[in-house]
């Protein structure tokens, strides 16, 4: 059996497969090696792994996670090797997982547009180039945090159209003081900002305002990041993440404007990872 994990800092999605069949899927808390220890991961998984899983039957574990840089991924691998003592354990960055899910063994361009932003060129085996998105304060163009910041700024400045501003007030009941407290004094300001993105899916929001906000965000994503990859428009545009998935049409319109043909868009990389590891 093969166990595959796609982990962020708050949630890990797991999929157990056997002979090209999905046996089960489940979730646990996220494990970022910058914020946890091997002992904690062992304790947490012993409590939260489904009872039907027999660790001795698992021959491979493939873990893709945020923060799993070469000098840190040993925190994850040490824990998994204790829990699954008969398995070959492989731990990689989430961006490698995204590239494999989207492209398999084919070279190309892959990106993540979720709460944050990431992107790379991939040669079919490894990432060959990655332009740092600089995080949500300095960059992360096109991300949920980037879009959420724009919505909050428009609302607080009074630039949001009146109909949308009334809806925003009714839906969120927030004030400038509350926003400032959450962004400047509380942890996880990026997630707070990104939590406002579903507002653009409200049917009362005008197409004009929605398109203006999204076109700006995605144009910045291409202008500041994508277009700086060598021969970027020789590749198709492939992306995972909730922002890419739910605003696919608006995103691909901008991609075409930059000369990139649409490729694969996935909400989450797990389906592609299952196929990749079954194929291997």
204-209-215-218 Cα dihedral, nearest 10 degrees:
-60
Q: What is the residue whose two structure tokens read 């989450």?
A: 268
Q: What is the mean pLDDT of the chain?
A: 92
State residue 9's pLDDT score. 63
Pair 3, 16: CB distance under 8 Å = yes
What whole-number percentage of the chain has pLDDT above 70? Answer: 99
Q: What is the pLDDT of residues 20-54, one digit of tens each?
A: 788 899 999 888 888 789 999 999 999 999 989 99
Closest CA to 250 of 210, 277, 223, 278: 210
**pLDDT tops 70 at residue 280:** no
| End-to-end Cα separation, the chain, in angstroms | 13
Domain residue ranges of the chain, discontinuous segments joined by +: 2-99+270-279, 138-215
State residue 268's pLDDT score. 87
Q: Are strands 60-65 and 2-7 parallel, antiparallel or unpaired?
A: parallel
State residue 169's pLDDT score. 93
**pLDDT tops 80 at residue 61:** yes
pLDDT band at 207 (very low <50, low <70, confident <90, very high): very high
Which of 16-20, 24-28, 99-103, 121-125 bottoms out in mean pLDDT, i.e. has the lowest? 16-20
Which of 19-33, 70-84, 122-136 bottoms out in mean pLDDT, i.e. has the lowest? 19-33
Distance CA 166, CA 14 (A): 41
Pair 273, 6: CB distance under 8 Å = yes
In the 8-state DSSP scheme, what is residue 132?
A: -
Neighbours of 225 (CB within 10 A): 22
Q: What is the residue whose two structure tokens read 């070959």?
A: 88
Mean pLDDT of 10-19: 87
Which tops the pLDDT comparison, 270 or 9?
Answer: 270
Mean pLDDT of 146-154: 96
Fold exhibited by the domain 2-99+270-279: Nucleotidyltransferase; domain 5 (3.30.420)
Burial of 175 (0-12, 13-18, 19+ CB in 10 A): exposed
Q: Which CATH number fits domain 138-215: 3.40.50.11540, 1.10.720.160, 3.30.70.1290, 1.10.8.100?
A: 1.10.720.160
State residue 198's pLDDT score. 95
Q: What is the pTM of this model?
A: 0.85
């Amino acid at each position: 059996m093969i166990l595959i994990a796609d982990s962020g800092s708050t949630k890990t999605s797991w999929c157990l497969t056997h002979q090209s069949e999905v046996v089960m899927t489940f979730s646990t808390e996220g494990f970022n090696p910058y914020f946890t220890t091997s002992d904690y991961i062992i304790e947490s998984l012993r409590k939260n792994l489904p009872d039907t899983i027999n660790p001795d039957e698992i021959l491979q574990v493939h873990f893709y996670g945020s923060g799993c840089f070469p000098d840190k991924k040993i925190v994850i691998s040490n824990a998994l090797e204790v829990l699954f003592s008969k398995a070959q354990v492989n731990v990689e960055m989430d961006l490698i997982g995204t590239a494999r899910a989207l492209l398999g063994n084919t070279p190309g361009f892959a990106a993540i547009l979720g709460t944050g932003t990431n992107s790379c060129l991939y040669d079919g085996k490894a990432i060959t180039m990655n332009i740092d998105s600089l995080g949500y304060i300095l960059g992360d163009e096109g991300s949920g945090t980037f879009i959420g910041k724009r919505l909050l700024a428009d609302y607080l400045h009074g630039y949001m159209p009146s109909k949308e501003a009334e809806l925003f007030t009714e839906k969120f009941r927030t004030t400038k003081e509350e926003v400032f407290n959450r962004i400047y004094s509380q942890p996880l300001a990026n997630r707070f900002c990104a939590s406002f993105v579903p507002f653009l899916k409200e049917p009362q929001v005008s197409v004009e305002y929605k398109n203006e906000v999204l076109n700006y965000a995605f144009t910045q994503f291409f202008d500041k990041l994508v277009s700086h990859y060598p021969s970027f428009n020789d590749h198709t545009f492939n992306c995972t993440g909730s922002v890419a998935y739910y605003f696919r049409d608006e995103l691909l319109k901008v991609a075409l404007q930059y000369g990139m043909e649409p490729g694969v868009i996935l909400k989450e990389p797990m389906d592609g990872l299952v196929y990749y590891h079954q194929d291997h």
